[in-house]
Amino acid sequence: ASYIYIYIYIYPGWTSINRGVLICDECCSVHRSLGRHISIVKHLRHSGWPQALLQMVQTLASNGANSIWEHSLLDPAQVQSGRRKPNPQDKVHPTKSEFIRAKYQMLAFVHKLPCRDDDGVTTKDLSKQLHSSVRTGSLETCLRLLSLGAQANFFHPEKGTTPLHVAAKAGQVLQAELLVVYGADPGAPDINGRTPMDYARQAGHIELAERLVECQYELTDRLAFYLCGRRPDHKNGHYIIPQMADSLDLSELAKAAKKKLQALNNRLFEELAMDVYDEVDRRENDAVWLTTQNHSTLVTERSAVPFLPVNPEYSATRNQGRQKLARFNAREFATLIIDILSDAKRRQQGKGLSSPTGETLGGKNRQINDDQHDYDSVASDEDTDSELTTQNNNNTQRSNHLSDGPITLQEYLEVKKALASSEAKVQQLMKVNNNLSEELRRLQKEVGATKGERRVAQEYIEFTYTDTYCRIEQQCQCGNLCDNLCVLCFPPQVSKPEKHGSGTDSDYDNTQTYDLSLSEEEGRGESEEGGVGEAGEPDPTLPCTEDVILKTEQVTKNIQELLRAAQEFKHDSFVPCSEKIHSAVTEMASLFPKRPALDAVHCSLRLLASSASRLQVECRKAAPTEPGAPAVDYQLLTQQVIQCAYDIAKAAKQLVTITTREKKQ
């Protein structure tokens, strides 16, 4: 069997699979609190291991994978600046925990690529290097590329394959394991419809082909093994559906809950399955943790992980549902797993799923909508046990639809169902935006649509819309109702409308300059091309609204990461954050035609691209300076960075608004 249990008594006893490092018990508690989207933790001796996966981790650890995450700390200049790695005798909290978060969550010490004169090394460049490197056995090279942003699912436009196709053809088992950990899809087709499994079989690598099949069904295999200790052999079938002793005597409540699960669309069902997978991983690691510890000072409220940590890539509603899974007792959780396995088999064999398992081990490529919600704030992964107890009690009192006893499957499905209700708020937002757009047109017509006056009207509408947008979301530290760390929490220095004619305005005040990108001819041609001057026919060249929203969400999340770094004075994180933002902006802009018919789209795209480029320039100023160079004014630099981020968010929001309005016409 490819799955074995390893009994090697070594210290440390844990490993972070996606980081390729070995960790001790103290650091393990911090890694687990980061969440599986940051660090996938597994015990070396007491956890079930696929042999190839274990060999991949051991190879990375023995070949210096840790130096990838601590690259800048090896620079002697960093020692002079006071930055150092914690000593073993340092306290876990806050010294070691802060270092671990900076190292693996913020990637503060990874190698910063030298930038060219144009746009620097792009994600596409890194992904092409990864596509070539996986045919060799150099695991650390590929891990370094992945740490810099290379995409494991990159589809090479000229060769028509992904890196996993190349690794499978070359028989690189360990490279395939690394790619799957970073989200590579084992069932992804090449340009001719062949999967990596097909490549492995045709090249004679039968064991690798069988392992890729296991990776494809990792989610359902893991759920089945959790309940009954067995996995399917994938030769006689891909699913094992355990049965409970009294499964024939289902209550009406359980039957109704099962019907609701079957009624979920594929996307929501896959999200639910992935959340249950993560909860299984949390519970298994909890069991190993309690077994291996001697209940000394290590077993404290700060080392416990009582529920799934918050994943900022997911909506607040989904994070709440994930945390509530910890309240399921053993019977309720087993019932949920059985229903998921049964429905996964039904969907795969009947209607079919885009991916039979929803997601491979460690995959993080699926984009999730950040739906708005009506629920309480999500608990932090650093809350103490007493704080969590108080918060859970308050949450129970405030939630009318939740029972006082253990949460049931039906209640969890009701939380999932609440995702659909958020669509009403989105529609309300779009309706408000349409009204504001009509007001903008009316103002432009009244003032003669001169450039300066159009700019005043546009600013008025944009800031009114921003306020409306914020006030239908959750409470934020700025006093408004915003989603997480909004750009309004760091207000940029925006000039007043009456200063538009001044020549002393900041170069970064795009709220007053973006509309001037139109030439006189373009301004006069707005009404002829169906621009903002009058409502014309829908533009068929505009992308799908849902695609634009997904890309906007990715841009927003990257901006939030940058703003967190600014708030915490982590200026060394500015450059990697700006690279992520620039990459997300490029992907969003690629959805639109190069020469859009609507002038409003043209203006917004120009603002988006120019702001992202300026952001990169500003963030590079935060890089360590050479001896003798003038000191950097970080306060001014932070203001300029925030202004650029504000302009990017504003332009992205404009594109969503325009696309939604045009598609509705």
**CA distances (Å), origin 612, targets 92, 575, 615, 646:** 38, 12, 5, 10
Tens digits of per-residue pLDDT, 607-663? 899 999 999 988 888 877 667 667 777 778 888 888 888 889 888 888 888 888 877
- Among left, alpha and beta (phi > 0; psi -120 to 50; other), residue 237 is left
Report yes or no: 133 and 125 within 8 Å, Cβ to Cβ: no
- Quote the mean pLDDT of the chain: 75
Give the chain's domains with CATH numbers. 1-47+70-109 (1.10.220.150), 115-240 (1.25.40.20), 252-349 (no CATH), 545-663 (1.20.120.330)
Tens digits of per-residue pLDDT, 538-573? 667 788 888 888 888 889 888 988 888 887 788 888
**What does the pLDDT read at residue 26?**
86
Residue 431 has pLDDT above 60, yes or no: yes
**What does the pLDDT read at residue 32?**
94
Chain centroid to Cα 126, Å, comes to 19
Write down the pTM of the prediction.
Answer: 0.57
Helix (H), strand (E), coil (C) string for 515-577: HHHCCHHHHHCCCCCCCCCCCCCCCCCCCCHHHHHHHHHHHHHHHHHHHHHHHCCCHHHHHHH
Residue 450 has pLDDT above 90, yes or no: no
Q: Return d(Cα 543, Cα 561) in angstroms, integer.
A: 27
Tens digits of per-residue pLDDT, 99-128? 999 999 999 899 877 655 455 578 899 999
- Quickly tell me which residue has 């202004």 as its tokens: 643
Residue 351 has pLDDT above 70, yes or no: no
Tens digits of per-residue pLDDT, 298-333? 445 566 789 999 999 999 999 999 999 999 998 889
Tens digits of per-residue pLDDT, 464-475? 333 333 333 333
Tens digits of per-residue pLDDT, 508-544? 333 333 332 333 333 333 333 333 334 445 667 788 8
Least confident of 339-353, 439-453, 597-611: 439-453
Least confident of 25-39, 76-90, 383-397: 383-397
Residues paired with 335 in a beta bridge? none
Phi, psi for 3 (deg, rounded to 5): -95, 125
Identify which of 253, 250, 228 has the alpha carbon closest to the alpha carbon of residue 241.
228
